[in-house]
């Protein structure tokens, strides 16, 4: 398994994971799932590759700023529970560290069912539950020292 920052060629395979998980499986609309933040210069997309097959996704917003937002974390359903989610989070954190100059905060909007997953990775709940894309979420944060 390897984790790569997406270039134009990898983007297509990476987006196929997001489409499968968020649009097809979870019923999020395409307009919400594929948003304007995908195209910002401070956004970084990371794909998990098993050979040439994309199996996991994740993105970072605001890379290089004091708060970096992790989102679109997904693992194809057929390979969940095998540690890929944890590995994707480690890859995202590593890219955020490499591209930050000092201490920073990692923030994410966790679907409630995945709260335990993020807690096990050191994230703490920082908000009351709210609806985003029709799904209950909580904001979670983790401080990272340079
Ligand atoms: N709730 C609580 N714990 C969870 C969990 C969940 N939903 N999913 C995984 N875990 C635990 C695992 O048991 C494992 O614990 P362990 O190391 O003690 O065995 C640990 O978290 C890591 O699991 P891992 O196998 O790396 O997770 P995964 O590959 O199944 O990926 C998700 C986790 C959330 C990314 C995956 O379930 C997924 O893609 N879900 C659909 C998309 C989604 O909802 N994404 C989150 C958006 S906020």
pLDDT at 75: 98
Q: For residue 42, which phi and psi values (nearest 5 degrees)?
A: -95, 15
Q: How far apart are CA 47 and CA 3, in angstroms?
A: 6
pLDDT band at 146 (very low <50, low <70, confident <90, very high): confident
Token pair of 76, please?
């194809």
For ligand 1, atom 15, the nearest C-alpha belongs to 117
Q: How far apart are CA 22 and CA 30, in angstroms?
A: 9
The pLDDT tens digits of the residues spanning 89-143 come to 999 999 999 999 999 999 999 999 999 999 999 999 999 999 999 999 999 999 9
Residue from 86, 87, 93 whose mutation best tests the ligand 1 pocket (most atoms within 8 A of CB): 86
Strands 104-111 and 67-75, sheet pairing: parallel
pLDDT at 11: 98
| Atom number of ligand 1 nearest to Cα 76 | 39
For ligand 1, atom 13, the nearest C-alpha belongs to 81
Q: For residue 50, which phi and psi values (nearest 5 degrees)?
A: -105, 100
Q: How far apart are CA 45 and CA 47, in angstroms?
A: 7
The residue ranking higher by pLDDT, 146 or 118, is: 118
| Atom number of ligand 1 nearest to Cα 56 | 39
| Atom number of ligand 1 nearest to Cα 108 | 48
- From the CA of 8, how far away is ligand 1's center (Å)? 28
The pLDDT tens digits of the residues spanning 10-62 come to 999 999 999 999 999 999 999 999 999 999 999 999 999 999 999 999 999 99
pTM of the model: 0.96
The residue ranking higher by pLDDT, 146 or 35, is: 35
Q: How far apart are CA 58 and CA 118, in angstroms?
A: 14
Q: How far apart are CA 87 and CA 54, in angstroms?
A: 14
Residue 91: which of 140, 122, 49, 46 has the closest Cα?
46
């Amino acid at each position: 398994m390897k984790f790569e920052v997406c270039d134009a060629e990898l983007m297509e395979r990476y987006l196929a994971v997001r489409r499968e998980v968020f649009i097809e499986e979870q019923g999020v609309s395409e307009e919400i799932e594929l948003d304007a933040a995908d195209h910002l210069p401070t956004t970084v997309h990371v794909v998990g590759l098993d050979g040439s097959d994309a199996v996991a996704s994740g993105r970072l917003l605001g890379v290089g700023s004091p708060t970096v937002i992790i989102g679109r974390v997904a693992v194809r359903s057929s390979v969940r529970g095998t540690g890929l989610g944890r590995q994707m989070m480690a890859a995202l954190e590593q890219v955020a560290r490499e591209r930050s100059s000092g201490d920073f905060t990692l923030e994410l909007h966790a679907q409630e069912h995945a709260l335990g997953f993020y807690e096990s990775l050191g994230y703490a709940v920082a908000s009351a539950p709210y609806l985003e894309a029709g799904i209950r979420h909580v904001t979670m944060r983790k401080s990272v020292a340079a």
